[in-house]
Structure 1
Amino acid sequence: MNFTVIAIIAGLGGLLFGYDTGVISGALLFIRHVFHLGPAMQGVVVAIALGAAAVGAAVAGTLSDKFGRRPVLLVTAAVFVLGALLSAAAWSVAILLAGRVLVGGAIGVASMLTPLYLSEMSPRDKRGAVVTINQAYITIGIVVSYGVGYLFSHGGDGWRWMLALGALPGVILFAGMLVLPESPRWLAGKGHREAARKSLAFLRGGHDVESELRDLRQDLAREGRATAPWSVLLEPRARMPLIVGIGLAVFQQITGINTVIYFAPTIFQKAGLSSASVSILATAGVGLVNVVMTFVAMRLLDSAGRRRLLLVGLSGMLVTLLAVAGGFMAGMQGGLAWVTVISVAAYVAFFAIGLGPVFWLLIAEIFPLAVRGRGMSLATIANWAFNMLVSITFLDLVHGLGRGPTFLIYAAMTLITLVFTWFLVPETKGRSLEQIEAALEGEGRLA
């Protein structure tokens, strides 16, 4: 099987993430009327899935380290299908929230495990592009969800179709994972050397894999154990990866991206666009920008490098957040509302070439093999926890401070992220996972 096809199938976990992330923004415009939800309960409908995602991410590392990456992804796909259908069929707020919990838990597992699985499957010179397939799928899922939202935005029960169609990527992921191999690095770490050889040979199309296997054996010999206790993450050799991973996880959220993803139609209506359908259509255009710029990032990550793209992207995010804040503070309405739409689109574009893909790529690269799953879990838990915090407080911040000051807060957080990146985030392009681990343990240097 062609390696590109394998990566495309494996990356479908990102589609689960993206579709549900985006679809709730359009569905919420109708759900709030059907179930008579105030601002606080609207925040709960969004945030309960995010809390469940944090729990899913918390268990994903341990489960994947113990049982393997592939079987956990199979179960995750099945749970997502069940949650999407339950949410769509909801006849009460309680049932809707139950479905959102299942969906959120599955997304949390997939958001952590998909980039990990892709990273461990990839050759070093293509790892940036391959792992970013996950981010590309997230953006495609978001823009598809916006299109579906617009398609069903004219009917009272259209929100049920918006949520139900989320089951499709879960079905496709389940079917695809049935034919993919287990991670060769996980197999080698568990002592299944021959199975690891067969998995690598399958992934590399029958090419010689002895050099890659030798690097794996040296990494395991240096580690001295296939899996290690959680306390290893506090040792000096894992401390910097943990600081960078959790730091970027938090900053990815507190710079405001998911307030745009979840509440874009609401933001555009407040900026002066005329109707729910026009707001959803404008949001779909922003989602398309996200997709295009993510593919640009895929082309650049293995040449320009992770750190450079992160710095460029954050600088652009800072400028465009200031523009959005200034637009709201100036009281733009009518035709000038499209200035806000353009500023938001530019903000998303800069996120898509920097902080969006680079965070998920780096946390799949920098942790030692023996605790890679659990290190990624901690970073992903932090990501979802702050996703929930930012999402549940956004409408209250807007109500209490105003839209302009709220976006100024996100701009300030972006400036802090720039400083953090400049001083702490390493460059990992062109290195094998084993070389990155050795360098972070003091046996080499990362630029």
Structure 2
Amino acid sequence: MSKSTSFYNKYLLFIAGLGGLLYGIDVGVIAGALPYLQATTNYTPGQLSTVVAAVLLGSVLSSLFAGALSDLFGRKKVMILAGICFVLSVPIICLPNGFAFLVAGRILQGAAAGLVGVVVPLYLAECLTADKRGFGTGMFQFMLTVGLVFAAAVGLYFANHVETISAAEYNTVAERAAAILAAKNFAWRAIFWACAVPGVIFSVGALFISESPRWLFKRNRKDAALKALERSRGVEAAKKEFDEMATASAEDEGDKKADAPKDSIFKKKYVIPFVLAVVILACNQATGINSVLAYIVDVLKQAGLDGHLANQGDLTVKILNMLMTVVAMVLVDRKGRKFLLTLGTTGIIVGLLGVAALFLRSERGMQDFTDRLNPAAFGFERTEVVVNEKTGIEEIDEATGAKKTHVVKYAYFSEISPAETQALMKTDTFVPAQVKFVYTLDGAMNVKTLVVREDTPAAEREIKIPAEEGQKFEVKSFEVGPLPSATNGWLVVMFFAIFIAAYAVGPGVCVWLALSELMPNRIRAMGMSIALLINQFVSTVIAGTFLPVVGNFGYSTIFFFCAGCTVIYWITAVFFLPETKGRTLEEIEAHFEGRKKL
């Protein structure tokens, strides 16, 4: 192989790796940005969940058309389109145009991920030599995890920036509050802007790759197909592979005429592998993997880690994900898919149950003060509630011996007037506390949460509830409790580490391999499309309902639910999934037809 050919193959892997990097950034960027977006806007938990889920919705939509677009316009052009979509999504997200543009930008970002996730692996399979194909696919998955780490590192950088601003000296409290708000407003936008850089490199870099030789051959551009092969293989190897493509093309044409509409995904011999594939993919997302990656910074703050410590926990978990993906790439052909899926799902269950149990313990410490905050009088009412001993959050001032109390100031409107456009709840506290406030506006349920520490500025001890003239405002619940310790937060990080390590070793690598191996040859494209659609649908639903479920029922509920879904995943892997390691696709198909045991 000549130096130019060797260089070009490395360049192909570089571009493919950038594609995986973009996919990982798409999934991971929101984790660092979300806390600052939440702190600088009045978006409801439902709206914030929509912002997170929008990227998954965009991925669902583009995945449906990615194959058709790449067949129509070529793999290279769709890859360039994906990079451009990713870059264009950033100004749409970051410019102050309101919630609709923010969601639209996230959908466009997700569309870029969907295109990359389908077309880049397809391009690699069609362009790389047989001995490089597995490495190329592994590189895509590995760089996806690097993208998650990159996004987490950017988030940590800006978290440190916000803390530096917060620690500076200011003339007045109001000046400090304004500076912190401006820093947070800058931080979430800057996180997205920084993550646009790989998208620019990918878009420009894809201009210099050749089109897929197999796509060119199918379009009857045979001279161009041969030149593309020569660029990556050399003249002799390219001519040999070109002849093989011509022979295979002639055989395919004969098979199409002989087999045309005889095979359907609903034939009995296809039902079992299809159902297995659907259950595996649905349960794969029901582990909560995408939601954990997206919300982890917020989750760790509620678990007891403050400021940049939550971002450090996020980065730690995502670096572990990257390292364990390398381990999985080494083990998958040695230990087999069934073994790794069984091992991985076991670890996921342990990790999720640990996180859920820790949150359940802290949630049981919350005390309900709803009855004190809902006066019977109509019109504007203001009341101050002094939280008594049963909250467990008082402490004694060592200097004076006096009790430090947690005082809640609450502004109540039974009906919003033009002059009173906000309901305001304010807390003044001297000890770490968490507040959960559930209310309705015109019957629509909303949840606001607040973490208050000793050094929390006054402006950040307020929950502002946006309302319009004439809207009916009703308190549903108001709970206050002690904030978990940093030790509790790091225990949550430990169980998340178990979760992510198990996912990376098992489902992270095995699920896509198992899916492609389970589907019989003649229905692979159609079967995988349906299974992938269900996979993305489950992921979108979980991400879109995550914050509302947490607000109403707590983190423990959602993590117990994900653990239950993973038990189904474990049962499927242990009792129903055959081991496909070292088996040809024809042997696997014969197994499901009942003609051969694996």
Does 2:192 correspond to 1:163? yes
Distance 2:99 2:487 in 1: 37
Query: How do 1:13-162 residues align onto structure 2 when only pairs under 5 Å count?
Result: 13-123=19-129, 127-153=133-159, 154=162, 155-156=183-184, 157-162=186-191
Residue 267 of structure 1 aligns with an amino acid whose one-letter code is V
- Give the structure with the larger helix fraction: 1
| Alpha carbons of structure 1 residues 299 and 446: separation in structure 2 relative to 1, 3 Å | farther
Return the letter of the residue paired with 2:152: Y
- Does residue 402 of the first structure (1) align with residue 554 of the second (2)? yes
Corresponding residue to 2:495 among 338, 343, 347: 343
In structure 2, C-alpha distance between the alignment counterparts of 1:14 and 1:20, rounded to whole Å: 10
- Aligned-partner SS, 1:208: helix
Distance of aligned partners of 1:389 and 1:235 in 2 relative to their CA distance in 1, 3 Å threshold = same
**Which of 293, 305, 318 is 1:287 aligned to?**
318
8 Å CA contact 1:115, 1:134 repeated in 2:
yes
Report how far residue 266 of structure 1 moved.
Answer: 1.2
Query: 1:188·1:216 contact (CA, 8 Å) conserved in 2?
Result: no
2:510 matched residue in structure 1:
358
Tell me the equivalent position of 1:262: 294
Instruction: Please say which of residues 303-312 and 194-203 is displaced more in the overlay.
Output: 194-203
- 1:138-157 Cα shifts (integer Å, max 9, x gaps): 21111111111111231231
Deviation at 1:371, TM superposition (A): 6.4
Q: CA deviation at 1:322?
A: 1.9
Given candidates 379, 382, 394, the residue that maps to 2:531 is: 379
Alignment of 1:178 with 2:207, yes or no, is yes
SS at match of 1:274: coil
Residue number in structure 2 paired with 1:252: 284
Contact 1:118/1:131 (8 A) holds in 2:
yes
**Residues 26, 55 of structure 2: 8 Å contact kept:** no
User: Closer, same or farther in 2 for the Cα pair 1:437/1:223, shift >3 Å?
Assistant: farther
Which residue in the other structure is 2:309 paired with? Answer: 278
Take 1:241 and 1:70, find their aligned partners in 2: how far apart are those partners?
Answer: 32
Tell whether the 8 Å contact from 1:49 to 1:105 is kept in structure 2 after alignment: yes
How many matched pairs? 443
Counterparts in 2 of 1:81 and 1:259: CA distance versus 1, 3 Å = same
Task: Give 1:302 shift.
Answer: 3.4
1:440 aligns with 2:589: yes
| Identity rate, percent | 33
> Once structures 1 and 2 are overlaid, which stretch shifts more, 108-117 or 362-371?
362-371
**Is the CA contact 1:127–1:302 (under 8 Å) kept in the aligned structure 2?**
no
Deviation at 1:261, TM superposition (A): 0.3
The structure carrying a bigger strand percent of its residues is 2
Give the Cα–Cα distance (whole angstroms) in 1 for the partners of residues 566 and 115 of structure 2.
27
1:8/1:382 Cα in 2 relative to 1: closer, same or farther (>3 Å)?
farther
Flag structure 1 segments of 5+ consecutive residues without an equivalent.
none
Q: Tell me whether 86-95 or 297-306 shows the greater mean CA deviation.
A: 297-306
Distance of aligned partners of 1:227 and 1:354 in 2 relative to their CA distance in 1, 3 Å threshold: farther
CA shift in 2, pair 1:379/1:129, >3 Å: farther
Maintained 8 Å contact 1:226/1:370: no
Shift of 1:205: 5.4
Deviations 1:80-135 (A, max 9, x none): 11112221223322221221121111112222333333344455565444313222
Tell whether the 8 Å contact from 1:62 to 1:373 is kept in structure 2 after alignment.
Answer: no
Q: Tell me the residue number matched to 2:481.
A: none
> What is the TM-score with the length of structure 2 in the denominator?
0.66
**Structure 1 residue aligned with 2:330:** 299
Rounded to whole Å, the distance in 1 between the matches of 2:211 and 2:516 is 16
Distance in 1 between the 2:226 and 2:493 partners?
51
1: CA distance, partners of 2:326 / 2:251: 32
Cα offset for 1:249? 2.4
Q: Give the letter aligned to residue 255 of structure 1.
A: T
The one-letter code of the counterpart of 1:181 is S
Residue 15 of structure 1 contacts residue 140 of structure 1 at CA under 8 Å; is this kept in 2? yes
Structure with more relative contact order (C-alpha pairs < 8 Å, separation 6 or more): 1
Equivalence for 2:545: 393
Q: Give the C-alpha shift of residue 167 in structure 1.
A: 2.1
CA distance in 1, matches of 2:555, 2:490: 16
- Counterpart CA distance in 1 for 2:352 and 2:139 is 26
Query: What is the rounded CA distance, in whole Å, between the counterparts of 1:322 and 1:222 in structure 2?
Result: 54
Aligned partners of 1:188 and 1:430: how far apart in 2?
31
1:6 aligns with 2:4: no
Q: What is the deviation of 1:242? A: 3.9
Q: Which moved more, 1:323-332 or 1:149-158?
A: 323-332
Distance, in Å, in 1 between the alignment partners of 2:195 and 2:250 is 43
Contact 2:29 2:148 in 1 (8 A): yes
Deviates more, 1:146-155 or 1:402-411: 402-411
Query: Which stretch of the first structure deviates more once superposed, 62-71 or 263-272?
Result: 62-71
| Structure 2 residue 467 is the aligned partner of structure 1 residue 315 | no
Counterpart Cα distance in 2 of 1:385 and 1:352: 21
Question: Once the two structures are superposed, what CA deviation does each residue of 1:383-441 show, in whole Å capped at 9, x if it has no partner?
Answer: 2211111112222222333322321211111111122233454555557xxx5268537
- Residue in structure 1 matched with residue 419 of structure 2 by the alignment: none
Q: Cα distance, 1:370 vs. partner?
A: 7.3
Question: Secondary structure of the residue that 2:43 maps to in structure 1?
Answer: coil
Contact 1:116/1:364 (8 A) holds in 2: no
Question: In the aligned structure 1, how far is the partner of 2:262 from the partner of 2:31?
Answer: 37
Unaligned runs of 5+ in 2: 163-182, 363-483
- Name whichever of 252-261 and 9-18 sits farther off: 9-18
Residue identity opposite 1:19 in structure 2? I
Kept in 2, the 8 Å contact 1:86–1:96? The answer is yes
Q: For 1:47 and 1:349, locate their aligned partners in 2 and report how far apart those are by CA, in whole Å.
A: 24
CA–CA distance in structure 2, aligned partners of residues 200 and 411 of structure 1: 48
Shift of residue 187, structure 1, vs aligned partner: 4.7
Q: Offset at 1:356? A: 1.4
> CA separation in 1, counterparts of 2:270 and 2:148?
34
Whole-Å Cα distance in 1 between the matches of residues 545 and 597 of structure 2?
A: 38
Structure showing greater Rg: 2
